[in-house]
Structure 1
């Protein structure tokens, strides 16, 4: 196993036992997640806010807002497939991250203007920018630790904390500015930190050496020669045929047309599939055609692999199928749950309850900021000479964050009565991840570590319990009556525990079960499953008003209780079959 002595330059500047470059990635990802989640928590609220009032929005229905958001969220998981290919072959990971960051900054700036054209343009730019940024940050991290696999788990844990810290502060501060100063302040703040994060990453180039640069022709030739000489059947390439490329192109075009047709038909009255085949609506017919062609593509490719590889890839596909049900329910946090928090939760506080909330909110804000600021100081001590300006930019970002946080807390403590902003509840997911991630990780390292199918099933069932609590808490609630916020807090707790059981497991098993030559194809399949889950989440979440009016709020949440619970029980029952398909991989 490679040790530090094998590459002393890599660990020449350490921060908490890891190279300084890791923490540059940590802060870059933190500010990108700050901007992404800060915008994400506002979008549905802005679109569905009343046209009149102190902070007017666009007055859309939840259904229309869900249609637009769903297409946006779906595309966020499709464009990274193409962004990763472009970076691998042409521009390298570092340039891809910078290009993606700049495009996303322009997207946030466009959204801050609040006009219809600029909002659509902004969402489009964010989708394109994410395609470049998302896959290549983790690619840089993976390349950085290529010779140090024993340190990779710790590195990913630190990096994941940066993701959640950014999401936490983005939703808290962008949401607060949008609620108290106006929507464009929230959207604008997200863009400012995206820009500053880009600058600090680019100025820290000296810390990375040639990591993330464009692959040289020599390296590509060496890799091709290695594969050609390999005696491992699993390492042999499986080239795409002309039919494969045609099927990929056709299914991609139909899928994208469907994604765009949903908001176009509901919001703009433009139906790209304005026809019927028998009793089938045109859009449903086209999706069924695309699904049939895609299944043919997958099955035909699977048949070209050796038996063990084929079985393991089938196992991944089964996990990906159940992933759709998880994200379909979990991502209600971006649509129906923010509407539920705004319209149906009693968020008014006064007296001792307000004091308790402000105290908790202060601790939630200040303690993480102190810890991350301490990490910033440690990084600066190690990199001051090599990346002076990068450290200055980082220091500016934290001064701004501290300033906004102190202003927010002072403003809240000065009130005798207050109403919690609906976006505040979204931070609970990130908080619970930070609080419980290490505990769940230790569970997997203990003798109680269950098989993958059981982890998956438990993740789905635990998340379903969260929706069950919401269904129970809102049972019999009449229109205009508010639900206790305790039910929403408990729901986020169970949703997060479900995520910790399921989400890290999925990507881990893709990397374990799939040989290196096929991993890009299978990661594409995985992201496609998440994309479908996100689209379904927004479409179904957009029905909260319709289902509540027709039946009840409790009925709406029961859908997301029963479906994932049944899926969870089903995947657990498949454990013996999946165990055979995995051929010894645990």
Structure 2
């Protein structure tokens, strides 16, 4: 079936109970997932790009632009915990979906909870903001792992089509992020914070409805596992003669240590913002000299974690053990990548607001408006074309889903045209802080195909080299910021070109490292352990996100004590060193991977 025709593909899908209507050579269900993920990412990134800016903006009584006046350390502590928990909660949501709920119901539950979270945040009061962030963490736990699980199950018998499907799905992620940051950011910064947070919630709600009403298209894909399926899976494992397929059950000691480290880890995540914002420190009794008690707690959790990992690794066969060690080494270095890359959600937002010259008038405003119009309208036309194709194929099967989709795109087109008209008729304007964040999605769409072709050519480097290149290329972006900010005095602002170039290099680094990481986890881990190892991988990303927010919160402290250039040099030097180390480990990693390429 490597060269399966569209007619045969459609017939095979129908046999599986999946709607056989094809859009651009793929099942219509893929594009339902595409748009569901797009609206979720619209909401997530639309809110994310506002949070640090809102928390650290000045308090202006009675103004729709009044922030909370927090310092970056406090804002970073709250955002870091939120980002950390976002990558941990899917571990539990995936388990519940696998065993009880089914993927599709888990997605609906997650989307509904996230809609409630965005609604809470539109009130932007302390109580509702904390409730909103909590709901977003919980909802993401159900939503995030199960969207890709539905996609994977839909293509289970068509592996030759899976790479193309994931590429299309990934475009949905970036399209949602692009328009969410652009439109939510514009409304928040030009009209008021309520509007930006509220718009994110509206599209999350509509995305939920669109997915729910499209149920007939998926057949039984994503349904809860039946008792027969569970029994068959157990029987297959029990009868396997491959020692790598045999379960490695957790011992009592493993379980106790996992519970202790989980309590300590979650305690640290909650205590960090609690101590910095409210001045209440749960771990004060653990303090050693000037070393904070919460740091003692998290280091203790990491030590226990390493002990459990090492003790479990010793129980595997040599090949499996070596491959899992390779995954752990990759996961360790991915922490340094996200620690730097995720400055885009914290310190770079503050830098863009306070240190970048965003004022435009005359010819510079005309040029920007022309570029911004092309950036907005061209992608919208392309995605609207896909919507029209999907509607044509599914009109009689999922009418309500199509109606909701029409409302979504009518809304996006309306807001986009209003935004562009408003900017064209202004004599002078200031680029929104959030506009710079859309560059990551734009550069991904621009360069993804080029990078993919390099990996498919004779120049495809080993995994360790890809990792090293990702870290080093991303670090070049921070090096440019350090150079651009060198020697600037207080009150002087730098050209926006430095930030644009930084985002370009950050994106190129991401394209080298991020997709490769997930691919190697799936290749190196035994089938029965893929879920567990993905959990390990997301834990590494969670740690990277938390470190990013903690270090990003120090931007004003380091700038006052040293300079803004020094702050960016930290994120230049550390990733370059990490990148060189991981490249030098290539021979070791090659041996550990035992032929996996």
Q: Would the TM-score normalized by the shorter structure come out above 0.5?
A: yes
SS in 1 for 2:248: coil
Q: What are the within-5 Å matches in structure 2 for residues 268-347 of structure 1?
A: 268-276=278-286, 278-279=288-289, 280-347=291-358
Distance 1:78 1:201 in 2: 24
Distance 1:396 1:11 in 2: 23
Moved more, 96-105 or 288-297: 288-297
Aligned match of 1:71: 81
Q: Does 1:385 align with 2:393?
A: no
TM-aligned CA distance change 1:167 to 1:8, over 3 Å: closer
Distance 1:99 1:461 in 2: 40
Q: What are the within-5 Å matches in structure 2 for residues 36-185 of structure 1?
A: 36-52=44-60, 54=63, 55-185=65-195
Distance 1:501 1:11 in 2: 35
Q: Using the TM superposition, give the Cα deviation of residue 281 of structure 1 relative to its aligned residue in structure 2, in angstroms.
A: 3.0
The answer to whether the Cα contact below 8 Å between 2:19 and 2:218 also exists between their aligned partners in 1 is no
The answer to whether the Cα contact below 8 Å between 2:19 and 2:217 also exists between their aligned partners in 1 is no
Distance 1:238 1:68 in 2: 37
- Structure 1, unmatched stretches of 5+, are none
SS in 1 for 2:429: strand
Distance 1:8 1:300 in 2: 44
Distance 1:135 1:284 in 2: 30
The answer to whether the Cα contact below 8 Å between 1:11 and 1:18 also exists between their aligned partners in 2 is no
Aligned match of 2:25: 17
Paired residue for 2:240, among 230, 241, 244? 230
The answer to whether the Cα contact below 8 Å between 1:15 and 1:378 also exists between their aligned partners in 2 is yes
TM-aligned CA distance change 1:184 to 1:228, over 3 Å: same
Aligned match of 2:532: 521
The answer to whether the Cα contact below 8 Å between 1:78 and 1:527 also exists between their aligned partners in 2 is yes
Q: Deviations over 1:339-362 (max 9, x none)?
A: 000000000111111101000000
- Structure 2, unmatched stretches of 5+, are none
Q: Deviations over 1:40-73 (max 9, x none)?
A: 0000000001002751110000110000000000
Question: Please, what TM-score do these two structures have when normalized by structure 2?
Answer: 0.97
Q: Does 1:503 align with 2:506?
A: no
Q: Deviations over 1:500-527 (max 9, x none)?
A: 0000000000000001111111111100
Q: Deviations over 1:442-495 (max 9, x none)?
A: 100000000000000000000000000000000000110000000000000000
Q: Does 1:32 align with 2:40?
A: yes
SS in 1 for 2:156: coil
Aligned match of 2:261: 251
Q: Using the TM superposition, give the Cα deviation of residue 246 of structure 1 relative to its aligned residue in structure 2, in angstroms.
A: 1.1
Q: Does 1:559 align with 2:573?
A: no
Q: Using the TM superposition, give the Cα deviation of residue 584 of structure 1 relative to its aligned residue in structure 2, in angstroms.
A: 0.5
SS in 2 for 1:7: helix
Distance 2:306 2:253 in 1: 13
Q: What are the within-5 Å matches in structure 2 for residues 448-527 of structure 1?
A: 448-527=459-538
Distance 1:281 1:388 in 2: 57
Distance 2:547 2:44 in 1: 20
The answer to whether the Cα contact below 8 Å between 1:94 and 1:136 also exists between their aligned partners in 2 is yes
